[in-house]
Amino acid sequence: MAKKIFGIDFGTNVIKVYKKGEGIILLERTAVSTVGKGKAKRAIAIGEKSFEMFEKAPPSIDVCFPIHRGVVSHLDDMVQLWNYMGQKISGKKKISHCQFYLAVPADITEVEKQAYSKIVLKSESKPKKVFLINKPIADAYGLGLDIEKSKGILIANLGADTCELSILSLGGLVSTKLVPFGGNDFDHTIQNYIRKKYNFVIGLKTAEQIKMKLIAAVPKEETITVTGRDLLKGLPREVTVRSTEIIPLVIDIFEKLANDIRSLLEHTPPEISHEILHNGIYLTGGTSQIEGMDRYLANQIKIRVNAAQNAQKTAAEGIGYLAEHPKLALKYAVPLDKKDNE
């Protein structure tokens, strides 16, 4: 029998680890700092510590974000990251004989899904078994929904790099769409705007702070003062930014999201969409915490919106639930490459 069982949501921004019997034990930024090249390459920091180095590190240190738009884009860096995390969660140099349940985006190719299993299979973890579960299924369990009985559930997971819109019915995924934008795109939009409008350079971390404080999907009057570098004088200074200048920059993205959900509903068989109308839409993911997002979408799509309580952890709670109930999890497991789970 496997010694320990983990459920993992490898998010673009944040990795969430659930340990059977304990709950969510770790949330870490999906970032790894390495030095050296080729075989000499080694990780010197991961997670928050690595993210702290972002935009500050000298050229000899590479700060990498190994997942991009829901896909593992730097597998070797991701394996290094997981080796470090494995030590952290086990308290030992190596974590071995464990079982892993991994939540993966549903609307990516089979090869891209298998890349998630490779993160643990190629690591020092030496797993006993790895199971891939489509993230919308994990989300549904994390939201506490009875997906076996319900004839129509629509989940919108608004993440860092992607929004995954999914329809489930009677225990299966009816359709799913991974829309290539998320909360990080807001950060880039804010950074570019401040540069152009104020001739002022801010880092992405500062842009994220501005987003958290100022962006809302409902009218809002708020300000934040941030530090950055004056492009003309080359010196550090402060700038005060208002919500009324930031919100119009992202309203198009909100509208596009509402349109994408509406279009998914339009292409859904009437029996299912009727049930969705009855249940309302389920909204989750870190970006769904933007103030007023639930009210905005409800207004635009004319359907009740149920906002998740613990939006950033929904998929991790769900994959954790499945790790606690292996027989149930088996029903949803995406087959692995044959040789990988022998």
Ligand X SMILES: Nc1ncnc2c1ncn2[C@@H]1O[C@H](COP(=O)(O)OP(=O)(O)OP(=O)(O)O)[C@@H](O)[C@H]1O
The footprint of ligand X (CB under 6 A) covers 11-14, 70, 159-162, 182-184, 208, 211-212, 285-287, 289-290, 312
The Cα 20–Cα 195 span in angstroms is: 46
Contacts of 222 (CB under 8 A, 6+ apart): 213, 214, 242, 243
C-alpha distances (whole Å) from 291 to each of 158, 159, 305, 307 are: 13, 15, 14, 11
Question: Among residues 72 and 333, whose Cβ is nearest to ligand X?
Answer: 72
SS3 state of residue 335: coil
For the bound state, the minimum distance from the C-beta of residue 163 to ligand X, rounded and expressed in Å, comes to 8
Phi, psi of 267 (to 5 degrees): -95, 15
Which residue, 243 or 273, has its beta carbon nearer to ligand X? 243
Cβ count near 93 (within 10 Å): 9
Q: What whole-number distance in Å separates Cα of residue 195 and Cα of residue 263? A: 35
Contact present, 119 and 15 (Cβ < 8 Å): no
Residues recorded for the chain: 342
Task: Please report the sign of the dihedral spanned by the C-alpha atoms of residue 203, residue 208, residue 210, residue 211.
Answer: positive
Q: Is 222 annotated as a binding residue?
A: no
Of the pair 51, 131, the CB lying nearest ligand X is at 51
- 211 marked ligand binding residue: yes
CB of 14 to ligand X, least distance (A): 4
In whole angstroms, the minimum distance from the beta carbon of 83 to ligand X comes to: 20
- Distance, in Å, from the CA atom of 163 to the CA atom of 143, rounded to the nearest integer, reads 17
Q: How many CA atoms lie within 13 A of 108 on its CB side?
A: 26
Residue 133 annotated in ligand binding: no
The pairing of beta strand 223-230 with beta strand 236-242: antiparallel
Least separation in angstroms between residue 290's CB and ligand X is: 5
Q: Please work out, in degrees rounded to the nearest 5, the angle formed at the alpha carbon of residue 16 by the alpha carbons of 264 and 183.
A: 45
CB of 28 to ligand X, least distance (A): 10
210 annotated among ligand-binding-site residues = yes
Nearer residue to ligand X within complex by CB, 20 or 135: 135
Q: Considering the complex, state which of residue 83 and residue 162 has its C-beta at the smaller distance from ligand X.
A: 162
**Beta carbon of residue 10, minimum distance to ligand X (angstroms, whole number):** 8
Q: Which is nearer to ligand X, 31 or 303 (CB)?
A: 31
Q: Which residues are annotated as a binding site?
A: 208-211
User: Annotated binding site for ATP, which residues?
Assistant: 208-211
